[in-house]
Amino acid sequence: KSVNQLIEALGKGRNGVKGESGVSDDDLASEVLSHYSSTSESASVIEEGTGEVVDEQTAQEETEDKLKQCIDNLMDKSAKTRLAALESLRLGFSSRVLYEFLLERRFTISDCLERSLKKGGGEEQAAAATVCALLCVQLGGGVEGEEGFKMLRPILSSILIDSCASLSARQSCARALGMCYLVKSGIPVLHSTALQSWALLCTLCPASRINTILNHHMPRLHACLESSEVNFRIAVGETIALLCELGRDIDQEFEYEDCDALCDSLKNLATDGNKHRAKNDRRKQRSIFREVLHYIENEDFTEEKIQFGIEAIYIDGWMRRRIYDAFKEVLESGVRHHLQFNPLLRDIFGLGPPLILDASVKASRISRTERHLFNSAAFKARTKLRNKVRDKRADVM
């Protein structure tokens, strides 16, 4: 039998019940898995009995047609039909790369899997959870995979902690959650977020601790530039620049002891043309690392203006950028409103009390240069004052 005939039989059959051929679904499943394994190792499929060679693309298309039927069977009223369809999908997803096929159907499949997890028995829940994990592996760690995982994560978590659910279902849900978090780049994202939060705290660190941090962490961060995850590499590069800025605030002559090797690494990332990386990822990485490299070599920083109302702040350093980005991540589109009216943010960015302006004052705006000089001076004065207070606290402790 061809792989497609086997999938069709398994998708339409009944679990554990022999059909006209006298072969049970369990036997069919074994044959499908064996056939999938053999076809995935070669570029062609030979139809039994005919000797006809079917190219890989044709085999893929035929397989996808049969999998469409399996997806339709997930909505069948019969639990046995749904279970057989889930088994077919498990075998198909584990034996072929189906990204384009699944991309178009991810919401339908996720919806069907959610229904099986919510309303199916223990065996169906276990099978559905396994297919959830395979779906994540197929779609990868991008936005598309994340959409399906967000839909399925609550029910997977609910079954996992439900002491009344079947043991096999809970085990499958635990396995699916672990795999999905891994595939969704949960670990790299966690690392990136943790590193950015650590860098934020470094901006509050007393001057007496900066040298210890630099000596201990700069070599480690340098090594982390070899990470395969683009967002983590970018977070590392920005943190290196921030630490160098902290070091230069304390000592204008500060220079990382292995600066030449660091600059070589930054240059490689700033000119990375690796075609295996997504185009947008390459563009983003090159842009950020050019900026980091220019700062390390020449203390150049691309200033950014944030306008709100008649006021503006100027992001003119890595510390200031990290602080602003942290508030932006939390406040999102409301960050400009808070800069205008929130006393806390205005204090942090050296803006003073919220402005209350009448029409005549609104008409006479100060120049951009004046605002920039005022904001920069206020921020630096505030930073120096805080460092003194922190040093006193450190001495007391």
The b/e string for 102-122 (b: 16+ C-beta within 10 A; e otherwise) is beebbeebbebbbbbbeebee
Q: Is residue 218 part of a domain?
A: yes
55, β-bridge pairs: 44
Distances (CA, A) of 244 to 108, 236, 270: 50, 12, 18
Please report the pLDDT score of residue 19 as a whole number: 40
Cα angle, residue 204 at apex, residues 202 and 206 outer, rounded to 5°:
95
Q: Is residue 128 part of a domain?
A: yes
Whether 127 and 212 map to the same domain: the answer is no
Distances (CA, A) of 264 to 19, 80, 86, 189, 347: 66, 61, 51, 26, 39
| Contact in structure between 254 and 244 (CB atoms under 8 Å) | yes
Q: Is residue 23 part of a domain?
A: no
| Contact in structure between 61 and 98 (CB atoms under 8 Å) | no
Residues 6+ apart with CB under 8 A from 156: 117, 129, 132, 173, 176, 177, 180
Whether 252 and 172 map to the same domain: the answer is no
Does this model's pTM top 0.75? My answer is: no
Consecutive H or E run containing 381: helix 368-396
Q: Is residue 199 part of a domain?
A: no
Residue with tokens 């398994």: 10
Whether 83 and 165 map to the same domain: the answer is yes
Backbone φ and ψ for 20, nearest 5 degrees, come out as -65, -30
| Contact in structure between 237 and 231 (CB atoms under 8 Å) | no
Whether 78 and 141 map to the same domain: the answer is yes
DSSP annotation of 333? G
Whether 66 and 130 map to the same domain: the answer is yes
| Contact in structure between 354 and 281 (CB atoms under 8 Å) | no
Whether 374 and 318 map to the same domain: the answer is yes
Please report the pLDDT score of residue 264 as a whole number: 95
| Contact in structure between 81 and 73 (CB atoms under 8 Å) | yes
* Rounded distance between C-alpha atoms, residue 287 and residue 214, angstroms: 25
Whether 86 and 145 map to the same domain: the answer is yes
Collapsing DSSP to helix, strand or coil, 54 comes out as strand
Tokens describing residue 315: 């992001």
pLDDT in tens, 253-271: 898 989 999 999 999 999 8
Please report the pLDDT score of residue 20 as a whole number: 39
Whether 84 and 179 map to the same domain: the answer is yes
Report which residue type is found at 7. I
Helix 143-161 to helix 122-139 angle, to the nearest 10 degrees?
150
| Contact in structure between 136 and 156 (CB atoms under 8 Å) | no
Whether 66 and 122 map to the same domain: the answer is yes
Residues 6+ apart with CB under 8 A from 137: 93, 179, 183
Q: Is residue 37 part of a domain?
A: no
Instruction: Give the residue ranges of the chain where pLDDT is below 50.
Output: 1-7, 9-26, 28-53, 393, 396-397
Whether 145 and 210 map to the same domain: the answer is no
Which of residues 152, 185, 218 is at a domain's end? 185
Q: Which of 295, 360, 357 is nearest to 321 (CA)?
A: 295
Whether 273 and 355 map to the same domain: the answer is no
Residues 6+ apart with CB under 8 A from 265: 222, 225
Q: Is residue 32 part of a domain?
A: no
DSSP annotation of 226? T
Please report the pLDDT score of residue 35 as a whole number: 46
Please report the pLDDT score of residue 158 as a whole number: 94
| Contact in structure between 176 and 156 (CB atoms under 8 Å) | yes
Please report the pLDDT score of residue 259 as a whole number: 93
Which of residues 155, 185, 215 is at a domain's end? 185
Distances (CA, A) of 393 to 204, 231, 319, 380, 396: 12, 35, 22, 20, 5
Please report the pLDDT score of residue 387 as a whole number: 67
Number of domains in the chain: 3
Count the neighbouring beta carbons within 10 Å of the beta carbon of residue 36.
19
Which of residues 245, 268, 298 is at a domain's end? 298
* Rounded distance between C-alpha atoms, residue 18 and residue 24, angstroms: 4
* Rounded distance between C-alpha atoms, residue 245 and residue 296, angstroms: 9
Whether 237 and 282 map to the same domain: the answer is yes
| Residue range of the domain that includes 340 | 304-388
* Rounded distance between C-alpha atoms, residue 128 and residue 388, angstroms: 59
Please report the pLDDT score of residue 97 as a whole number: 82
